[in-house]
Amino acid sequence: MTAPRGSELDRIAREAPFVAALGLELDRVDAGTCESVLEVRPDHLQQDGYVHAGVLATMADHTAGAAAASVMAEDRRVLTAEFKIMLLQPARAQRLRCVAKVLRAGRRLSFVESEVFGTTGESVRLVAKASVTIAIVERASG
């Protein structure tokens, strides 16, 4: 994903240490939408071999933030205010893809929906869906 250096999207893509440690990558960003991908590793799994809910939640949340950032003023930042995730089925996958779409972009709050798909071979399954409220805040000085 290429975003202008110094932009909020560039910051989201490159400067979140926890997200980088997971291996999450923003793949595609258009106005109001974002897609991210994650190659599933053994450390992403919980004790029964399924992708951990925390990985799915982080992916849905972070991708939603990038989608919201794609349609806000450049002098603003995004912060998650609230989210709900529905884990639709256990995720056993080689790869995850998240698609986030802004449902309403406001000056102070944006509402975003994220869907996480698990892929194994030819099989693609919707494994989680999230509703995310993103606060649009002023860029901190300093």
49-86 confidence digits (pLDDT tens): 999 999 999 999 999 999 999 999 988 999 999 999 99
How far is C-alpha 78 from the geometric centre of its chain's CA atoms? 12
What whole-number distance in Å separates Cα of residue 51 and Cα of residue 49? 7
Q: What is the pLDDT of residue 3?
A: 54
Residue 115 buriedness (CB in 10 A; 0-12 / 13-18 / 19+): middle
Percent of the chain with pLDDT over 90: 82
Percent of the chain with pLDDT over 70: 94
Which residue ranges form the domains of the chain, and what is each CATH number?
8-138 (3.10.129.10)
pTM of the model: 0.92
Q: How many CB atoms lie within 10 A of CB 79?
A: 10
> Which of the four pLDDT bands, split at 50, 70 and 90, describes residue 5?
very low
Check: CB of residue 74 under 8 Å from CB of residue 35: no
Q: Is the pLDDT of residue 13 over 90?
A: no
